[in-house]
Amino acid sequence: MPEPSDSLLALKRRARRGYRLLHERYPYAHCELDFETPLQLLVATILSAQTTDVGVNKVTPTLFARYPTAADLAAAVPEEMEEILRPTGFYRAKTRSVIGLGQALVADHHGEVPRRLEALVTLPGVGRKTANVVLGNAFGVPGITVDTHFGRVARRLGWTEETDPVTVEHEVGALFPRKDWTMLSHVLIFHGRRTCHARRPACGACPVARICPSYGDGETDPVKAEKLLRYELAPKKDA
């Protein structure tokens, strides 16, 4: 990140302009994991590792119906939970994390999901990314979720050069008001999934093309770029 104050100010202005343009493209951006309670979101986020949100949403209705509370998770028979989680991949490790999560919540938090990042990251299977997802979407506490999409888009936009998720979180967070952090995360993740793809970004159909230093890394022809957009992932429900 540039050190001189004038360069930092220019970066903030460009970053905030980029965010406004992306927010106009994705005004409906949201957490794509289905949940009704903080516990459900916490579990779903843990399960989303190495798989898609769509895949997680297919198994969580059965999982949550069978294990509705932290105590139920804690007492689960591993082999039975593994069968439910099998489609998500790495199901044995995820089963251990989810059961361990339930046990930790019962033992240390009266079965409730804590509302502080410092407490969340001590739970089995929970890192800063997962903690920020829960804080921002279940408790309304602003947080930046640095997944692979967020990090890639932030670097392409020139908001950071870092690859370490924690460093990216702090550097990008310094460019925006804290109140915007959660929605910023949704918007960048939506953009990464729908337009700014890892292998072949749709530069010619990108709303921030004019101010993106990485313009040209992908398809610049508008017609060809339009075909790369993933519309099937756009608004859901009543968005």
The verdict on whether 129 is a catalytic residue reads yes
Q: What share of the chain is helix, strand, coil (3-state, %, to 5)?
A: 60, 0, 40
Q: Are 45 and 59 in contact (CB under 8 A)?
A: no
Calculate the CA dihedral of residues 108, 113, 178, 184 and round it to 10 degrees.
140
The two three-digit tokens of residue 149, written as one number: 């999409």
Which member of 147, 164, 179, 180 is catalytic?
147
C-beta of residue 73 within 8 angstroms of C-beta of residue 98? yes
DSSP labels, 219-237: ---HHHHHTT--GGGS--T
Structure tokens at 63: 């999982």
Options 34, 108, 129, 227, the catalytic residue: 129
Q: Is 108 one of the catalytic residues?
A: no
* CB environment 39-49: b (16+ within 10 A), e (fewer): bbbbbbbbbbb
Phi-psi region of 127 (alpha: psi -120 to 50; beta: other; left: phi over 0): beta
Which residues are identified as catalytic?
129, 147
